[in-house]
Amino acid sequence: MGRKIRALIVDDSSVMRKIIERALRQAGLDLETVCEASNGAEALDLLASQQVDLILSDINMPTMDGLEFVRQLQARNLAAKVPVVMITTESSEEHVKQAIQAGARGYIRKPFTADHVKERVLPLVGIQ
Amino acid sequence: MDRQRGEIRGEAVELSRASGKSGINNQNNRKRAPVTVSLRESITQISDPHSLDASVGEVFELMLGWRCRREEDPRVQEANSVTAVVGFGGVLSGACILRSGAQAALAIAARMTGAEFTEVDETVLDGIGEICNMLAGSWKGRFPELAAHCGLSIPAVIAGSDYNLRVQAPEFELRHTYRFENLSFEVMIVCDGLQ
């Protein structure tokens, strides 16, 4: 599909981080690098020294949850530059609205398949 | 052995009754017409065992590629077991509990990660906690009032052979054993408070 993508996956479960990475590859993304963080605060630290093209983040995490993480990205002017997709078990319209208001560009509900990732993530990184 | 324990979030509100998922994020695009009643009045819907069956089926099929069936005659659990607990807080308080024998836990973790496991380690506990988290989210997501106003805790996972899990006088309890391949596990939804 061409473009190489640097992804950041934020989830307190290391197993889920691996599953999300596998789903990104199955969806057809050519991943150049995959960075991992277990909460929003770790992810912000990582972004101070790493550039990424795509962020996938859980919502329910200890220390700093996904919504606060996206708000912090917005405050740093990063959410407009790097698309953020929430991947979470929370599925209400209210949670989606909160995520979008915070600055997220996409929302995937767990459980998910590579097809859900393909449908919601690829357009955000310019791959149809 | 607890992996982590998170804050349970949620708030009291007036509720709309429906039996399925709804919303713009619904990957199955199922919609239900909302009818305003209290959650207590809709207890027969949320205690319907088929909702739990559907959630177990969805999580195991999408995340693991396994079809599960509910067992009418559950077998005795192995001595060594893994138990994951995800708490509900807000308009419904209680927990979703997933309990499996060590062999089923190893098989689930292997399927999730693509790796082989010979013992219940941190990765296995993490995987079982995440499956329980998705079961809890899928189950509450079938009821818009719960989806919006019932929070989930971060999973806690316990492994071993010498522990008891005691639930005190719940409002209602769903407890089913399911089988995949040749292994089984038990899922409980325990509600000890409704608003």
What digits encode the pLDDT tens for the residues B1-15?
A: 434 333 333 322 222
In a domain, residue B59? The reply is yes
In a domain, residue B2? The reply is no
A4 to chain B, minimum CA–CA distance in Å?
24
Q: Please tell me the distance from the alpha carbon of residue B171 to that of residue B54, in angstroms, as a whole number.
A: 22
Asked whether residue B20 carries a pLDDT value surpassing 50, the answer given is no
Task: Provide the residue range defining the domain that includes A20.
Answer: 4-123
Which residues of A lie inside 8 Å of B (Cβ-Cβ)?
A: 12-16, 18-19, 22, 60-62, 88-96, 107-113, 116
| Chain-chain contact of A112 with B136 (C-beta, under 8 angstroms) | no
Residues B41-49: what's their mean pLDDT? 82
| Chain-chain contact of B113 with A62 (C-beta, under 8 angstroms) | no
In a domain, residue A99? The reply is yes
Residue to substitute from A9, A65, A91, interface B, most B β-carbons within 10 A: A91
Asked whether residue B55 carries a pLDDT value surpassing 90, the answer given is yes
In a domain, residue A60? The reply is yes
- Residues of chain A falling short of pLDDT 70: 1-2, 128
Which CATH number goes with the domain that contains A44?
3.40.50.2300
Nearest to B59 by CA among B110, B130, B123: B130
| Chain-chain contact of B4 with A12 (C-beta, under 8 angstroms) | yes
| Both structure tokens of B43 | 């207890």
The domain tally of chain B equals 1
| Chain-chain contact of A91 with B23 (C-beta, under 8 angstroms) | yes
Q: Please tell me the distance from the alpha carbon of residue B92 to that of residue B94, in angstroms, as a whole number.
A: 7
Identify the pLDDT of residue B194. 84
Least confident of A41-55, B27-41, B173-187: B27-41
Asked whether residue B105 carries a pLDDT value surpassing 90, the answer given is yes
Cα dihedral angle (A108, A112, A118, A124), rounded to 10 degrees?
Answer: 10
Sort out which chain A residues have CB atoms less than 8 A from B26's CB and list them: 91, 109
| Both structure tokens of B147 | 């989806």
Sort out which chain B residues have CB atoms less than 8 A from A107's CB and list them: 25
The domain tally of chain A equals 1
In a domain, residue A15? The reply is yes
Judge if pTM exceeds 0.90. Answer: no
* Segment B60-73, tens digit of pLDDT: 999 999 999 999 87
In a domain, residue A57? The reply is yes
Q: With beta carbons less than 8 A apart as the criterion, state whether B138 and A115 touch.
A: no
Asked whether residue B23 carries a pLDDT value surpassing 60, the answer given is no
Which CATH number goes with the domain that contains B186?
3.40.1550.10
Identify the pLDDT of residue B37. 58
In a domain, residue B141? The reply is yes
Q: Nearest residue on chain A to B131, judged by CA atoms?
A: A111
Residues B180-189: what's their mean pLDDT? 93
B130 touches chain A (CB under 8 A): yes
Least confident of A15-19, B34-38, B181-185: B34-38
ipTM over 0.85: yes
Residues B168-190: what's their mean pLDDT? 91
Task: Provide the residue range defining the domain that includes B137.
Answer: 16-194
* Segment B123-159, tens digit of pLDDT: 999 999 999 999 999 999 999 889 999 999 999 999 9
Nearest to B56 by CA among B160, B170, B189: B189
In a domain, residue B90? The reply is yes
Identify the pLDDT of residue B19. 32
B147 touches chain A (CB under 8 A): yes
| Chain-chain contact of A91 with B26 (C-beta, under 8 angstroms) | yes
In a domain, residue B1? The reply is no
Q: With beta carbons less than 8 A apart as the criterion, state whether A65 and A59 touch.
A: yes
| Chain-chain contact of B126 with A14 (C-beta, under 8 angstroms) | yes
Element (H, E) at A79: none
In a domain, residue A128? The reply is no
Give the three-state DSSP class for B19.
coil
In a domain, residue B107? The reply is yes
